[in-house]
Amino acid sequence: MSQAAVISHAAYAEHAEALGFWRKYVFSTDHKTIGKQYLGISLFMAIAGGFTAYAIRWQLAWPAAGIPGLGAITPHAYNSLVTMHGSIMVFWVAMPMLLGAFGNFCIPLMLGADDMAFPRLNMLSVWIFFTSALVLLASFVAPGGAAASGWTAYTPLSDTWTSAVWGQTMWLFAVALEFASFLIGGINFLTTAFTRRCAGMTLWRMPLLVWDEIAASVLFLLSVGPLVAGAVMLLMDRLLGTGFYDPSKGGDPLLWEHLFWFFGHPEVYVVALPGFGIMLEIMPVFARKPIFGYRTIIYSTIVAVGLSLIVWAHHMFVSGMDPRLATPFSVTTILISVPFAIIVFAMIATLWGGSLIFDTPMLFVIGGLASFIVGGVTGIFLGSAASDIYLHGTYFVVAHFHYTLFPVTFFGGYAGIYYWYPKMFGRMMDERLGKLHFWLTFVFFQATFIPLFLAGIGGTPRRVFMPSAYPSFASLQPLQVMATVATIGLIASQIPLVVNFFSSMFRGALAGRNPWRANTLEWTVDSPPPHGNFPDPPVARRWPYDYSVPGAASDWLPQVAETNPPAGIKVQRAS
């Protein structure tokens, strides 16, 4: 077996030599290149998403002033901006960053595989995704403007022809393409994890990031189907004039809400789990301590995946659905905080008593964890029907979900970028710029969303073009202004990242194979790894979290290390 693998590696090397520029960097089947392509697209789309955030916030703070760079906007254009902000950030930033980029880059390397199970399908998925991004961006200039019915595309807003005729249909097509891309990607992740692991890499030795990526893929695969069916029906309604969501034709607009949130709520975990995976992967390295409760974390993840399929109606407490559904969905929603609390406590216990090294990746992990806890705790208020009826549709909800999604997407994603950048590009990122980036981002993030919690508790409704027009909310306007100033600061805080990202490619210190002294398999090969990844097929001889093992020569034992600890020493194990 190893001989065959060596031959195939030689073939890889020869093959890589023969590839021209286009096949090597653009139409590549190499999972590492594809991961970088996803990362590039997601960071580019984050600029578009950030611009919409800026425009929305400016409108809310100074509605009379006109948005610099965009001018005065109509209420319809404001709805478009909100719709596109949500769609872009969830589908075109969070998913490609956390699943596309780190899933593709890390899974084969961490499992000791030469590539994904289906490299050509992988290339197909990134190009479908690229197309979907183009369709979405094109809808901005479509006649009638971009989709304006929210990222949830609630019927009948999305079902009628009154506005955004082209924009809404293009939005549907873009989302359909995006789903196709991530379905192909998810099938690829799952098949790779189950068939391409190197010798010794049992399921219970897989790094937690891989576990989280495949859990997210299973969840996406299971939750997206009914929404695809719903989207087919919506498309039929829009293009053919059927009446699935039209009460005047016997349909029911609530059907869409059920189908959307059956996907939409699990989608939060599709994004959150890989974000957690990145955090869990980085923590032990910078705490120099084994992960706490490896198997418990995995079991909790599986329980969370199962529960997340039966919580969706907590988005619909005030929608007019049967009120008898409120209690069961409150119960499941509060229940799902249990597995997540277990994961969070496992993270804290991993940090407890470690020799923490506060390099940039670790700062983003700890900052992300701290912020996510705020998001999780405020979720309890929205999950129980009684308090949700008051808070529903206010800025409290906006602040809550930004406190969950921003930490996993950006704190988690940035942690991943700073941590794996040396492996991706062979050079270290600048630590001083990185720390500056972290502190500015952390402070401005809190300053943006804490005022929105307060505005929400005060009752300010979201999705309103000009809340200050209502006399009862006029006194809360200073909170909106503060959030807007902080948002502009938050966007400006990303400048150090951009400078760091590009200048480090040329001027960063050479990273070497294992700059962080980490255990997982990707750190045993060159940075960046060659096409085909491993010159010799690796053998995993232990779990990936043997840090500070008593009696060992160094404070880390890579997964390939053969050394046993001296006899008689009890080591904390996975179970």
Partner 1 sequence: MSDATMDRTFAEPAEADAFSGIPPGKLGMWWFLASEIMIFGGLIACFILFRAAHGGWRAESADVHWRIGAFNTLVLLTSSLTMVLAWEAVKTNRPERVGRFLGLTVVLGLTFLGVKGYEYSREFGAGFTPFSGLFWAFYFTMTGLHALHVFAGIVVNSILWTRAARGRLEGIQHRIEYAGLYWHFVDVVWIFLFPLIYLS
Tell whether residue 3 is a contact of partner 1 (CB under 8 A).
no
Question: At closest approach, how far in Å is the CB of 463 from partner 1?
Answer: 27
Out of 542, 545, 552, 559, name the contact with partner 1 by CB under 8 A: 542
Which residues, 111 to 130, sit near partner 1 by CB under 8 A? 117-118, 121
Question: At closest approach, how far in Å is the CB of 401 from partner 1?
Answer: 24
Size of the residue set binding partner 1 (CB under 8 A): 55
Out of 25, 27, 161, 194, name the contact with partner 1 by CB under 8 A: 194
User: Which C-beta is closer to partner 1: that of 167 or that of 207?
Assistant: 207
Is 472 within 8 Å of 465 (Cβ atoms)? no
Out of 60, 398, 540, 552, name the contact with partner 1 by CB under 8 A: 540
Is 399 within 8 Å of 376 (Cβ atoms)? no
Which range touches partner 1 (CB under 8 A), out of 61-69, 230-238, 314-322, 486-494?
230-238
Is 129 within 8 Å of 177 (Cβ atoms)? yes
Tell whether residue 228 is a contact of partner 1 (CB under 8 A).
yes
How far is 194 from 203, CA to CA, in rounded Å? 8
The tokens for 251 are 């349909």
* Cα dihedral sign, 94-95-100-103: positive
Tell whether residue 191 is a contact of partner 1 (CB under 8 A).
yes
Which residues, 87 to 106, sit near partner 1 by CB under 8 A? none
Out of 195, 327, 355, 554, name the contact with partner 1 by CB under 8 A: 195
Tell whether residue 539 is a contact of partner 1 (CB under 8 A).
yes
Which range touches partner 1 (CB under 8 A), out of 126-134, 182-190, 438-446, 492-500?
182-190
CA triplet 340, 520, 222: central angle to 5 degrees? 45
Out of 241, 306, 320, 551, name the contact with partner 1 by CB under 8 A: 241
Question: At closest approach, how far in Å is the CB of 14 from partner 1?
Answer: 22
The tokens for 230 are 């719903």
User: Which C-beta is closer to partner 1: that of 274 or that of 413?
Assistant: 274
Query: If we measure between CA atoms, which residue out of 46, 123, 52 comes closest to residue 91?
Result: 46
Tell whether residue 252 is a contact of partner 1 (CB under 8 A).
yes
Query: If we measure between CA atoms, which residue out of 262, 380, 269, 381 comes closest to residue 311?
Result: 262
Decide: helix, strand or coil at residue 178.
helix
Out of 229, 370, 466, 492, name the contact with partner 1 by CB under 8 A: 229
User: Which C-beta is closer to partner 1: that of 236 or that of 488?
Assistant: 236
Q: Where are the alpha helices (DSSP H) in 19-113?
A: 21, 31-61, 75-87, 95, 102-111
How far is 106 from 520, CA to CA, in rounded Å? 10
List CB contacts of 152: < 8 A, sequence separation 6 or more: 86, 257, 260, 261, 264
Tell whether residue 521 is a contact of partner 1 (CB under 8 A).
no
User: Which C-beta is closer to partner 1: that of 163 or that of 563?
Assistant: 563
* Cα dihedral sign, 282-283-289-293: negative
The tokens for 299 are 């079991």
Tell whether residue 244 is a contact of partner 1 (CB under 8 A).
yes
Query: If we measure between CA atoms, which residue out of 447, 535, 431 comes closest to residue 487?
Result: 447
List CB contacts of 74: < 8 A, sequence separation 6 or more: none
Which range touches partner 1 (CB under 8 A), out of 67-75, 255-263, 339-347, 413-421?
255-263
Which range touches partner 1 (CB under 8 A), out of 47-55, 372-380, 525-533, 539-547?
539-547
CA–CA distances in Å: residue 217 to residues 92, 297, 408: 16, 17, 16
Out of 60, 101, 170, 224, name the contact with partner 1 by CB under 8 A: 224
Which range touches partner 1 (CB under 8 A), out of 1-9, 198-206, 435-443, 453-461?
198-206
Tell whether residue 188 is a contact of partner 1 (CB under 8 A).
yes
CA triplet 540, 541, 545: central angle to 5 degrees? 85
CA–CA distances in Å: residue 412 to residues 92, 147, 361, 377, 438: 16, 29, 9, 19, 12
Question: At closest approach, how far in Å is the CB of 564 from partner 1?
Answer: 5
User: What DSSP state is assigned to residue 313?
Assistant: G
Count of Cβ atoms closer than 10 Å to residue 486 Cβ: 22
Looking at 361-426, which runs of residues are DSSP E strands? none
Tell whether residue 503 is a contact of partner 1 (CB under 8 A).
no
User: Which C-beta is closer to partner 1: that of 161 or that of 502?
Assistant: 161
Contacting positions for partner 1 (CB under 8 A): 117-118, 121, 183, 186-188, 190-192, 194-197, 199-200, 202-203, 205, 221-230, 232-233, 236, 240-244, 249-252, 255, 259, 262, 539-543, 562-564, 573-575
